[in-house]
Amino acid sequence: MSDPTRPSRDEAEAAVRTLLRWAGENPDREGLVDTPKRVAKAYQDWFSGYALDPDDYLARTFEEVCGYDELIVLRDIEFESHCEHHMAPIIGKAHIGYLPDGKVVGISKLARVVDAYARRFQVQEKMTSQIADCIQRVLQPRGVGVVIEGAHECMTTRGVHKRGVSMITSKMLGGFRDDARTRAEFLQFIDVGPGR
């Protein structure tokens, strides 16, 4: 059911015109006349995650894996998100590991879970937790580890103006939290950081 409090597309486009005027522009000049429409369309893309239920991606599992019970790692999952404080891009990579408990998921589904959370307004810590909690809740593996490396444009193109800074966050659950060897093996597999 659609949310009756949600603004219409016309209202969203009018808000973009207001911002353009506030920046000192004339939204009626040729180059800008279609910009509110383009921005609304871009928002539908950047924030498409609100319409998705990430749990759905993990519903289909496979059990014919000949008893495979070791670490499964998907590293370097690129994502694009936006920080909820400044609405500025966060560009980065997520790395996910889990210890299966009798069933596995198609690996693309882990990347889909990342996107479903990334395409929202985010704080990196929250996104890291959301991804790990979703995998734990739905797949119920023996453990999950999520590490995210993000570059925050609110720190590079404005404010403190620091380039080349990465924020690294991690969330470890189950065996990844309790067993130092599992955690170490995961971190060795993903080998986070430049120069690897």
Ligand X SMILES: Nc1nc2c(ncn2[C@@H]2O[C@H](COP(=O)(O)OP(=O)(O)OP(=O)(O)O)[C@@H](O)[C@H]2O)c(=O)[nH]1
Which parts of this chain interact with ligand X (CB under 6 A)? 83, 85, 123-125, 152, 154-155, 159-160
Specify the DSSP element, H or E, that contains 143: strand 143-152
Residue 137, contacted partner among Zn ion, ligand X, none, CB below 5-8 A by kind: none
Is residue 177 a contact point for Zn ion (CB under 5 A)?
no
- Contact assessment for residue 153 and residue 167, using Cβ atoms and an 8 Å cutoff: no
Q: How many CB atoms lie within 10 A of CB 25?
A: 14
**Minimum CB distance to ligand X, residue 102 (Å):** 35
- What gap in Å lies between CA 105 and CA 152, rounded to an integer? 30
* Nearest distance in Å: CB 72, ligand X: 27
| Residue 137, CA distances (Å) to 59, 129, 141, 164, 166 in order | 11, 12, 9, 35, 29
Say whether residue 154 binds Zn ion (CB under 5 A). yes
126 touches Zn ion (CB under 5 A): no
C-beta of 65: minimal distance to ligand X in Å?
A: 36
Residue nearest to ligand X (CB): 159
User: What is the CB neighbour count within 10 angstroms for residue 108?
Assistant: 11
End-to-end CA distance of the chain: 48
What count of Cα atoms within 13 Å lies in the side-chain half-sphere of residue 74?
A: 18
The region of 43-51, 54-62, 85-93, 124-132 touching Zn ion under the rule CB under 5 A is: 85-93
Residues labelled catalytic: 83-86, 124, 152, 154
Residues tagged in the binding site annotation for Zn(2+): 83, 86, 154
Residues of the shown chain interacting with Zn ion in the complex, contacts defined by CB under 5 A: 83, 85-86, 154
